[in-house]
Amino acid sequence: MPLPLGHAALGLLTHECSSKRMISLSSLKVMFFIVVLANLPDLDVIFGLILKGNGNAFHRGPTHSLAFAVLMGLVASGLGRFSNLFPKISFSTCFAIIFSHTLADLFFTDSPVSLLWPFEIQWAAGFSSLNEVVSSVLFEGYRDVGLIITCITMIILIRTIKYLQSDENAFNNVRNLKLERVLLTLRTSRVRKPKI
Ligand SMILES: [Zn+2]
């Protein structure tokens, strides 16, 4: 299953695809926000551990649904509008980042998710203690290496395409500007042409 690092990489890739803004290592606040959003559905593990001592007690329920992604997408995009503490990210991008988690769990794992909650509900099977959750988060991230490398490769590819497109646009703008100047010079020279 994708673990926090895998979900974080998918979240960053989703942001890259759905937003014009390019994040860098200097935009730590935005990066942190994206990583939190990408892992938000797994908050149910923490609730399970606190309330039942079992990380699987509420896992893959309502938080792993389309409705949750819409609701939290609205909340997350709204936070940036009301406070400077949070980055300004559009609803569609916040929604896509959160929903990337649900889709990754749906397609990359065997356990079902509650995609259409409240019309369906699924719960993770078995028992997961605090020790098991912590050790899987800390020591099993290597299982997502393939996913992380794929996401990084795709981000590099998307940035290269964006760079080439912006370069081509800049070239076209300069060419259009030069053409406009030539036309303007021609018009001006016609206007100034002395009468014989
Ligand atoms: Zn999950």
Would you list the DSSP string of 162-176? Answer: HHHHHHHHHHHHHHH
Q: What mean pLDDT do residues 141-145 have?
A: 88
101 CA distance to ligand 1 middle (Å): 6
Q: Where are the domains of the chain?
A: 4-191
2 CA distance to ligand 1 middle (Å): 8
Tokens, residue 103: 């889709």
118 CA distance to ligand 1 middle (Å): 17
Percent of residues, the chain, with pLDDT higher than 90: 65
Residue 152 CA to residue 136 CA, distance in Å, equals 22
CB 38 within 8 A of CB 6: no
165 CA distance to ligand 1 middle (Å): 36
112 CA distance to ligand 1 middle (Å): 10
* Average per-residue pLDDT for the chain: 90
Would the pLDDT of 196 be above 70? Answer: no
129 CA distance to ligand 1 middle (Å): 16
Q: Give 98-119 pLDDT, tens digit per residue.
A: 999 999 999 999 889 999 999 9
183 CA distance to ligand 1 middle (Å): 60
**Where on the phi/psi map is residue 129: left (φ > 0), alpha (ψ -120 to 50), or beta?**
beta
Q: Work out the pLDDT band at 32, boundaries 50, 70, 90.
A: very high
158 CA distance to ligand 1 middle (Å): 26
Q: What mean pLDDT do residues 120-147 have?
A: 91
pLDDT for 195: 60
73 CA distance to ligand 1 middle (Å): 16
Q: What mean pLDDT do residues 30-46 have?
A: 96
36 CA distance to ligand 1 middle (Å): 12
Q: Work out the pLDDT band at 19, boundaries 50, 70, 90.
A: confident
pLDDT for 33: 96
